[in-house]
Structure 1
Amino acid sequence: MENAKNILIVEDELIVAEDIADTLRSLGYGVVGIVSTGEKALQKISQTSPSLVLMDIMLKGDMDGIETTEKLRQQSDVPVVYLTANADDKTVQRATATEPYGYLVKPIEEKELKRTIEIALRRYQAEQKIKQQAKEAEEERHRKNRYLSMASHEFRTPLTTILMSSQLLQQYEQKLTPEKKQRHFERIQNAITSMNTMLEDILTLGRAESGKISFSPGAINVVEFCQELLEAITQSTGRNHSLNLEISGEFSGAIMDEKLLYHILTNLLGNAVKYSPEKTKIILEVVRCENEVSFCVQDQGIGIPPEDVLKLFEAFHRAQNVGEIAGTGLGLAIVKRSVDLHKGVIEVTSKVGVGTRFTVKLPFQSPLS
């Protein structure tokens, strides 16, 4: 049978237990053991983690089968099927309260044993699936609430800027010089851009964490991709820095997800520009090392305090030394998720006041989906 299941037999009549064990083996099930008391049953379950327990109700010793199952429920949700020769109404009520997955009346017929076990295991699998779905739904709800809470907090600053500048423009339009008016318009535009960037980052990170972001590797010209990316960043935000590309190795045949690689490098290079003094050098070093490609971004910026490195890839976390430098604290979280989807690794070394070096190692050829 598919994925043979291991079963524990809890039965104090050895001849009956051995007969059940032989029948189970002939049906393709494994038997992890035969025990005769509730105490031994709990110990054996913790040691072997069986797929199902056949539990005699009328066990000898300090605990009967029902008490044993009650204790078992405190430590495990392994399914239990009761074995009984006869039972009064009170015993049946006690047994039912422990929510067993079935009953078998002794002497047990092979067909009935097989049918009861199959039904119990299928019911258990269905319940586990429902529990997992409920857990994932709850995690998704908590994740959305967390993002909503964080986003509402982060949106307050740009919204306040927009509100204050628009009020000043409205109330003092005649008194403001053209230069001051222009300054307020620029503040409004910058605040809107910041909010739009933050919203895009939140959506991207949310999709990544919920498994809804696609991983679509394909052939990529690594050198050309990095050249164009570095040129675009230089033209947009890096005009006051020296951005350099250093290439080493042969890259023909590389297979990666171009969109995710874009997220990785734009965030790392963007941070390098943002947190580095003007006129300083920023290096993107790309090296082919056998079956992987190493992308290193080195800057001469403010660096990252050691206590912040451990939380660097958490959403909305920003190092304590960033001061008034704008940012959402989402970029590195997106980088980490994008690297993980490639099954790559990311490393960081940094010294405050000296600079930071991020190293991303990705497989040279990611499996095509």
Structure 2
Amino acid sequence: MTTTTPSKILIVEDEILAAENIAKHLRKQGYEVSGIVPSGEEAIARSTELRPNLVLMDISLQGSIDGITAADRIGHQLQIPVVYLTAYTDSKTLDRAKSTNPYGYLVKPFKFENLRVSIEVALQKYRDEVVKEQRFAEQLEDSQAELNQLKRLQEEHRSIAEGLSQALKNQEFSLYYQPRVNLRTDRIVSAEALLRWHRPQHGTVLPATFIAISEANGLIDPIGEWVLRAACDQLQAFQESGLKNLSISVNLSGSQLKLPHLHVQVERILQDTQIDPRFIELELTESTLIEDMDWTVKQLHALKSLGVNVAIDDFGTGSSSMLLLHHFPFDTLKLARCFITNIDCSPKDITIASSIISLAHKLDIKVVAEGVETQAERDCLQQLGCDEIQGFLISPPIPAAQFLNQISS
């Protein structure tokens, strides 16, 4: 059984008999009387020493300061609630007392029942204020932490933007390649080119960290052009090594898709590298495609006229997936990873994937499953008629030399 600690009350009253009478009644009602003092100076000193829960303060006191001055210091300096017990009811005294924000004002003579009620109301008001102050302090602390985090992010973004502006010139970018395997032949037939930034003093940085910043700072277009050219150069090297039928997929950003001269840029790179366009696949996400559908249709048809293939990435994660199949000339559909993970254990995902694969094949669209990590997932997708798979079961993204060794073996 828990016991409640009694509230401690300091009585400030220069009439000793009246003070003793108040103390007697308080003790009967379960309060702890911290002491009785007759002056404002002693009231401040004992409040500082004893830290009572409440001070009952007469206004007319011994000493050089009255109860109002003492209450003001106790309230503001020590944050202890004060209830006045006084015979004064004149406007001047009331105005002075109100300026100290008291927790009560009892006029003598008073009933002890009214004193008890005033004490309880004052204590509860003070507790509520303490709780509010604590909540405010916590909110302020949380806000400060969020502000500090925002400042750190802003500084990090600024640092990344400054680093990106020099990364191309300093040759800090490279491409890694993640193999795609044909499920009918069990051979690597393609690879997705994935950008890596080897940032000095920071190590290898993944695109998720810097792509949005590069878009916001207008750096994505030259970076995107570099990626496509580097991928074509590497594909040419792969083909010269004997991988005549290998294809490479490259991701396009929304910013690149808005470039009026995008198809001219792609055509120039294909000509410069002497790459057969049917071995290049350009990947776009659903969010990129739906920003301006009329413009996107024109862009994709212009790109398709060059002979390159077009793929929709993360298919099935958006609300407009079926609409996109109707509007855009896709060659490849990449099933989102959310349908692939543990597909062998999910009849619902099997049904969804089977329906998408069947629909895509009827539209003469190849289906690639992303994020395949287990043999069970691979076997299930093969049974569903999926064309190709990509994921850590085959290989993580790896540098070109390592990719060449893997495909050769």
- TM-score tier, shorter chain, comes to 0.3 to 0.5
Give the TM-score, by structure 1 length: 0.46
Structure showing greater radius of gyration is 2
